[in-house]
Structures are given as C-alpha cells and as structure tokens.
C-alpha cells in the first residue's frame, strides 16, 4: 500500500524534449524511489535529532590554533570552540605527523566544506582537527586556498584516539563528531559511526558522504561514482 501511494504522488505533467514513453515510465519509477529516499532521510534525521545526550568528554581538550590574521599560535579549549552557539561540529582530518601528505579524500571533502563554512557557522560552531603540528596544517590550508575553515591541531592531546579520529595503531581516520553545550556542560551528541560498523559487500561506509559534494554530484550521472576512482591532491593537465 505504501509503495502504491508513493507512485501515485510521484507523477507530474512536466516533460523534457524528445523523451519517449519508456523513458518516462522508468523515470517516474525512479522518482518514486527518490521521494521515498527523501522521506527516509528525514526519518533518519528526526531520529538523530531525538538522540539523548551522550557522555561528557574525558577532559576539556587543549588544541593549538593559528590566528587568522597574524598567524600567531594560541591554545584553545574544547569548551571555548562553541562561540555563540550551543552546538559544535568537529571533523577529524586525516593528516598525522607521520603522513607525508594529507589524505586526498579528506582534502576533497574539505575543499567543499571551506566554501560552505561561513554559512554553517551562522547556525553552529565548526572546526577541523588534525594530529599534525599546527604549522603543517596551516601550510596545507594555504596550498588549498582554505580561508573559512577553523583549523586545530590535536598533537598535544588524546582527542583523536578518544573520538575515533585515530585507530589503536595511530593511523588517522576520518570522523565527524557533534558536541553540544547545555548549562555550561559539554556533551557528545553524535558521531559518524557507520565507519565502525561492518560495511555491505562492495561498499565503503560512506559515513561522511552527507557533507561531501563530490559523491552527491557523481551519483546523478550515468557513470556513477566508479569502482576504482578517488580524488587526488593534484591532477595532470
């Protein structure tokens, strides 16, 4: 019954140049699936918003940050990162001190996030945290032209290990974490935990795809994402 209802509400009268009946039938079927995906996405978002508060951080982590104007390094605590907001979004950037170059996948995602950061920061706090010393992080940011992202070094604390931006062997991992501050107390709210769960055969976790424009665009084209293509830091030509 639910599937029939979705199909009946999906049809519309708009047609594109020279499309035939076979195309329209297939497209209307896909449209029904797209509408159901939208509904499921909102159902999941509602479940996420309804989460009870998680645990308090083990400590008020101290990060290093380079000032946006003079570049002078300063120390800043987790509790100070919220600014005027009650919510903080923190992305763990795979760029550890032993890595010669930052992760191309993370870098691709942050290229897009840099453009949206000013808008996001109207609603919530937003930071990017990497394990490398702050000087290396700032150098990578300058090379990419990032001017809107707030970049922090966790080289002097255990944030990466505690919030799954690093595995037990010290290898860096991408993880998106959300914290909230209520009545002066910081609590963990949500993390992109699909990377911690078993993946379906032939798929990667896609746990941060929701904030990654690249894959959302490629999912719209006939070639799709491709099975063996990933972004690079530089392209020939």
> Which single residue is written with the structure tokens 């209802």?
5
Residues 112 and 184 grouped into a single domain: yes
Query: How does residue 181 score in pLDDT terms, banded at 50, 70 and 90?
Result: very high
Q: How many structural domains are present in the chain?
A: 2
pLDDT digits (tens, 9 = 90+) for 62-77: 999 987 666 789 999 9
Please give the average per-residue pLDDT across 191-196, as a whole number.
93
Regarding whether 81 and 1 lie in a shared domain, the answer is no
Q: What's the pLDDT at 125?
A: 98
- Strand-strand pairing, 175-182 and 185-191: antiparallel
Mean pLDDT of the 194-212 span: 88
Say how far apart CA 50 and CA 38 lie, in whole Å: 18
Q: Is 51 helix (H, G, I), strand (E, B) or coil?
A: coil
The helix (H) or strand (E) run that includes residue 94 is none
Strand partners, 166: 172
pTM of the model: 0.90
Coil, strand or helix at 159: helix
Q: Which residues pair with 130 in a beta bridge?
A: 93, 153
Q: Do residues 174 and 108 both lie within one domain?
A: yes
Three-state DSSP state, 177: strand
The arithmetic mean of pLDDT across residues 93-116, rounded, is: 97
**141 within domain boundaries:** yes
pLDDT score at 69: 66
Check whether residue 89 and residue 133 sit in a common domain. yes
Q: Which of 156, 171, 193 is the last residue of a domain?
A: 193
Domain that holds residue 169: 62-193
> What is the structure's pLDDT at 204?
81
82 HSE (CA, 13 A, CB side): 18
Asked whether residue 3 falls in the same domain as residue 87, the answer is no
């Amino acid at each position: 019954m639910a599937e029939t209802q979705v199909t009946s509400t999906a049809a519309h009268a708009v047609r594109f140049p020279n499309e035939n009946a076979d195309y329209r039938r297939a497209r209307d079927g896909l449209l029904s699936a797209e509408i159901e995906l939208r509904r499921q996405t909102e159902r999941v978002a509602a479940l996420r918003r309804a989460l009870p508060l998680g645990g308090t951080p083990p400590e008020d982590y101290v990060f290093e940050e380079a000032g946006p104007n003079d570049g002078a390094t300063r120390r800043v605590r987790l509790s100070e990162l919220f600014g005027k907001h009650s919510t903080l979004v923190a992305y763990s950037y795979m760029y550890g001190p032993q890595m010669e170059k930052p992760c191309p996948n993370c870098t691709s995602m942050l290229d897009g996030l840099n453009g949206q950061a000013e808008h996001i920061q109207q609603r919530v706090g937003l930071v990017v945290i990497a394990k490398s010393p702050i000087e290396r992080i700032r150098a990578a940011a300058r090379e990419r032209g990032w001017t809107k992202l707030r970049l922090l070094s966790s080289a002097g604390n255990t944030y990466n290990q505690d919030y799954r931006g690093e595995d037990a062997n010290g290898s860096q991992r991408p993880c998106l974490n959300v914290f909230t501050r209520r009545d002066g107390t910081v609590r963990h709210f949500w993390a992109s935990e699909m990377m911690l769960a078993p993946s379906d055969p032939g798929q990667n976790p896609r746990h941060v795809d929701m904030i990654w424009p690249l894959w959302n665009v490629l999912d719209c084209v006939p070639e799709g994402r491709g099975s063996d293509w990933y972004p690079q830091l530089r392209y020939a030509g």
